[in-house]
Chains A and B, each alone.
Chain A
């Protein structure tokens, strides 16, 4: 092959690949499930401007009647017409990426409610996968606008980001193989023969350490699906995280797994926003309150995590003050 021919080949391959990729990206279908329609009351809480929410089906844009105070995050997002959401891609019921490449679940529905409150259509939401250990980072480095990813509120995280909500209260629990007899609660984990699995950087992985007999019992992965696979293959004996996530994994396991014992912690799920953005936080709380009132919150649950056997329908918890 001559030099010009070979370099042409390389160039055309790169060009073709880039073109293919652009086509592939453009052709991706939008999210599947229909979100609830949001028709909220006019007077929002603390934010100055009156915000009139429109029906989700109408076209969103700065021309719509949605208005926010100058310089607030809400105004910026509403004007841009897009919002970047960080969520989980591997948690059935809350944030699971489907075959079209778009995540679905309760967290996703909550994100859609927020977006709708800003007048942003669900097609204009960009989802980024935010596994447990990078949730603060993506907010600190401005890679996403909000994080809705089974995000437990705790004081340590409050030093780096601000939480809106909570929108759900879960509890940490244990999941074992259906035929497991040794474990009925976290106290049984002091037996050093029992291997525990959880996810790096998550609150449950920190909480569980106090119950373990030895540090070597704990195996950490980056996503829960790996823990589930390890459990099925008898590489670990227990998977621990919030009970709703476990229920989703149980549902997927077709009877191979079961949850044992009662939840032994309280995990309020919050919505992460950049540190100090109090107005955005309050806006989100108001949006959630409105959604609870008009039933869209309940519907968001029912269409996603609510379908999992054993999950109890929640009521919107009282919002914590924004700071």
Chain B
């Protein structure tokens, strides 16, 4: 177990770096995913088609291909940024498609009577969305969104291969390959690290689910 104890500092900093990546990705994909969901239900045809097309393409593409695009192709188009941000961007672009579908399912679960009534009392699309549909959609949205978030946090491990150094995956790579430490202890250390991200998140999500469901 010296592998872990000798390098505890490395594991801890790796853990925090992974957490940072997850949080940035969370915020970004919640925003962009909700925007996409709005696109998909908007009365504006080009937006609907863009949303549908985006989701179709991204859902069927592996995350690795998305990251290849953001980390290597985007810079070629002149869009340069530190690899950390390119990686986070790739994760955001990827996860947003799933957030979009979760939110859309939530929106669709709201009875159509609600949107009709909203229109009947004179609210336009934007207003009815904001005041009537979205708040109710939020309740049905939380469970599937929760799984998307946990999946996103686990996917953050992939960034380690695209120039984003210092996260848990990169740490485990360095220790087992370059420095020849025994594999099993490092594996356990890394697993514990990721569980320390996913388990608390899962717990938080259960709490959130319960609170949001009460109103119904």
Give per-residue flags for B78-92: 1 if the beta carbon is below 8 A from chain A beta carbons, else 0.
001001001000000
**With A160-B180, A219-B83, A235-B75 in contact, do A230 and B163 touch (Cβ < 8 Å)?**
yes
Q: How large is the interface on A (under 10, 10 to 19, 20 to 34, 35 or more residues)?
A: 10 to 19
Once the chains bind, are A200 and B177 in contact (CB under 8 Å)? yes
User: Which residues 135-190 in A have Cβ within 8 Å of B in the complex?
Assistant: 136-137, 160
Contact call B83/A235, Cβ cutoff below 8 A? yes
- In this complex, what residue of B is CB-closest to A206? B178
Write out the residue numbers on chain B whose beta carbons fall within 8 Å of the beta carbon of A134.
177
- Which one of A21-29, A51-59, A115-123, A221-229 contacts B? A221-229
A219-B163, A219-B165, A220-B165 known; A226 and B72 CB under 8 Å?
yes
The answer to whether A207 has its CB under 8 Å from any CB of chain B is no
Produce 1/0 per residue, A211-251, CB < 8 A to B: 00000000111100010011011110000000000000000
Chain A residues with CB below 8 A from B75, complex form: 230, 233-235
Residues of B within 8 A of A222 (CB): 161
Q: How far is the CA of A160 from the CA of B178 in the complex (A)?
A: 12
* Majority secondary structure of chain B interface residues (helix, strand, loop or mixed): helix
What's the least CB distance linking A154 to chain B, in Å?
13
B173 close to chain A: CB less than 8 A: yes
List the B side residues contacting A136 at CB < 8 Å. Answer: 180
Q: Which residues on the A side are within 8 Å of B178 (C-beta)? A: 133, 200-201
Evaluate contact between B163 and A137: CB separation under 8 angstroms.
no
Whether, in the assembled complex, B76 has its beta carbon less than 8 Å from a beta carbon of chain A, the answer is yes
Could you write out 22 A-B pairs with CB less than 8 Å apart? A133-B177, A133-B178, A134-B177, A136-B180, A200-B173, A200-B174, A200-B177, A200-B178, A219-B83, A220-B163, A221-B161, A222-B161, A226-B163, A229-B72, A230-B72, A230-B75, A230-B163, A232-B76, A233-B80, A234-B75, A234-B80, A235-B75
What residues of chain B have their CB less than 8 Å away from a CB belonging to chain A? 72, 75-76, 80, 83, 86, 161, 163, 165, 173-174, 177-178, 180
Q: Could you list which residues of chain A lie within 8 angstroms of chain B, going by C-beta atoms? A: 133-134, 136-137, 160, 200-201, 219-222, 226, 229-230, 232-235
Given known contacts A133-B177, A137-B180, what 15 new A-B pairs fall within 8 Å (CB)? A133-B178, A137-B177, A200-B173, A201-B177, A220-B165, A222-B161, A226-B72, A229-B72, A230-B83, A233-B72, A233-B75, A234-B75, A234-B80, A235-B75, A235-B163
